[in-house]
Chain A
Amino acid sequence: MVDLAPLLLSVGLLAGCGEVEDSAAPEPELEVFALEPFTPSLSLEEVDAQVEAAITAGLPEPFTPLSVYQRTFDAYAEEGCPGSNAYEVPGDYIGCTTSAGAFFWGPILYAPSTDPELTPTEFSVIGDGHIIDPEGAWLYAGGELAYQPTPGQDASDEGREWFYLLSGTWGYGPDGDWLGERWSGVIHGDGQMQAPDAWVIRVHGSFAKGGVELFFDSLLMDAAHCGVNSVGAVRLHDPEGGWYVLEPRGCDHCGAVTFEGGGEPVPMGETCLELTAPAEALAALIWERG
Chain B
Amino acid sequence: MIWLLALLACDDPDPVEITENTLVSLEAPRLARRMSLDLRGVLPSPEELAQVEADPGALDALRDEWLEDPRLEQRLVHALGERWHTRVDDFLLIYREYPALADDPTVAYAFKRAVGEEPLRLMARIAVDGRSWDEVVTADTTMAEDILLSIWPVEAIEEGAGWREARYTDGRPAAGVLATNGLWWRYESTVTNYNRARAAALVKLLVCADIASRPVSFAELPALVDEESTRRALRETPACVNCHSTVDPIASTLFGFWAANEHNSFEIDTYHREREAQGMDLMGVEAHWFGVPVRDLADLGQAITLDSRFPACAVEGFVEPLLRRPVEDEFAEIEALVEVFEANGRRVKPLLAAITDTPAYRAGGLGPDADAATAERERTRRLLTAPLLASALGEAAGLAWTAEGTELLDEDTEGFRILAGGVDGVYVTAPPPEPNTSWLLVVQRAAQLAARDAYSAARAGQAPPLLDGINFADEVEAVSAELRWRLTALHPDAETLAADRALWEQVEALAGEDEAWVALLWALLQDPEFTSY
Binding site for B on A (CB under 8 A): 6-7, 9-11, 13-14, 16-23, 27-28, 30-33, 35, 38, 93-95, 103, 105, 126-130, 132, 140, 142-144, 167-169, 182, 184-186, 205-208, 213-215, 235, 237, 239, 241, 243, 262
Contact = CB atoms under 8 A, between A and B. Distances in A.
A103 B293 CA distance: 48
B146 interface: no
B44 to A, nearest CB: 41
B316 interface: no
A33 B303 contact: yes
B273 interface: yes
A215 B213 CA distance: 37
A55 B4 CA distance: 70
A115 B48 CA distance: 78
Contact of B97 (A9, A103, A105): A105
Contacts of A31: 292, 306
B260 A30 contact: no
Interface string B213-229: 11100000000000000
B261 A144 contact: yes
A186 B295 contact: no
A168 B3 contact: no
A128 B290 contact: no
Contact of B2 (A7, A33, A184, A186): A7
Counting from the closest, the 7 A-B pairs by CB-CB distance are A168-B260, A142-B264, A143-B260, A213-B274, A10-B6, A167-B260, A169-B266
A142 B266 contact: yes
25 contacts: A6-B3, A7-B2, A9-B6, A10-B3, A20-B10, A21-B10, A22-B214, A33-B292, A38-B295, A93-B94, A93-B97, A103-B99, A142-B267, A144-B260, A168-B261, A168-B267, A205-B278, A205-B281, A206-B277, A206-B278, A208-B274, A213-B273, A235-B277, A237-B276, A237-B277
A47 to B, nearest CB: 16
Given A30-B290, A142-B260, A142-B266, A206 B275 contact: yes
Contacts of A13: 3, 6-7, 10
B215 A19 contact: yes
Contact of B261 (A19, A94, A143): A143
B295 A262 contact: yes
A126 B420 CA distance: 41
A129 B261 CA distance: 11
Contact of A10 (B5, B214, B265): B5
A128 B261 contact: yes
A14 B9 contact: yes
Contacts of A207: 274
B215 A23 contact: yes
Nearest to B242: A23
Contact of A23 (B97, B214, B281, B303): B214
A131 to B, nearest CB: 12
A108 to B, nearest CB: 10
Nearest to A107: B263
Contacts of B2: 6-7, 9-10
A234 B223 CA distance: 37
Contacts of B213: 18-19, 22
B94 A132 contact: no
B265 to A, nearest CB: 7
B6, B261, B265, B266 pick with most chain A CB within 10 angstroms: B266
Nearest to B2: A10
A168 B264 contact: yes
B289 A30 contact: yes
A235 to B, nearest CB: 7
A214 B292 contact: no
A128 B267 CA distance: 9
Contacts of B192: none
Given A30-B306, A32-B293, A241-B295, A214 B260 contact: no
A30 B213 CA distance: 22
A215 B281 CA distance: 10
Contact of B267 (A38, A169, A237): A169
B96 interface: yes
Contacts of B265: 142
B83 to A, nearest CB: 20
B261 A142 contact: yes
A250 B309 CA distance: 52
Contacts of A205: 278, 281
A28 B263 CA distance: 37
Interface in B469-509: none
Contacts of B263: 128
A27 B290 contact: yes
B272 interface: yes
A32 B302 CA distance: 10
A285 B214 CA distance: 50
Contact of A14 (B10, B96, B267, B308): B10
Contacts of B242: 23
A130 B303 CA distance: 40
Contacts of B293: 32, 35
A14 B6 contact: yes
B117 interface: no
B259 A168 contact: yes
Nearest to A207: B274
Contacts of A6: 1-3
Contacts of B142: none
Given A9-B3, A30-B290, A184 B270 contact: yes
A219 to B, nearest CB: 13
Contacts of B306: 30-31, 33
A32 B307 CA distance: 10
B6 A186 contact: no
B41 to A, nearest CB: 35
B345 interface: no
B34 to A, nearest CB: 32
Interface in B495-530: none
B296 interface: yes
A13 B11 CA distance: 12
Given A23-B214, A30-B306, A184 B272 contact: yes
Contacts of A19: 213-215
B295 A35 contact: yes
A83 to B, nearest CB: 17
Given A19-B213, A35-B295, A143-B267, A94 B309 contact: no
B210 interface: yes
Interface string B282-312: 0000000111111110010011001111000
A144 to B, nearest CB: 6
Nearest to A215: B277
B215 A22 contact: yes
Contact of B264 (A10, A94, A127): A127
A127 B266 CA distance: 11
Nearest to B258: A186
A207 B272 CA distance: 9
B487 to A, nearest CB: 42
Nearest to A212: B274
B215 A184 contact: no
B264 A208 contact: no
Interface in B88-108: 94, 96-97, 99, 102
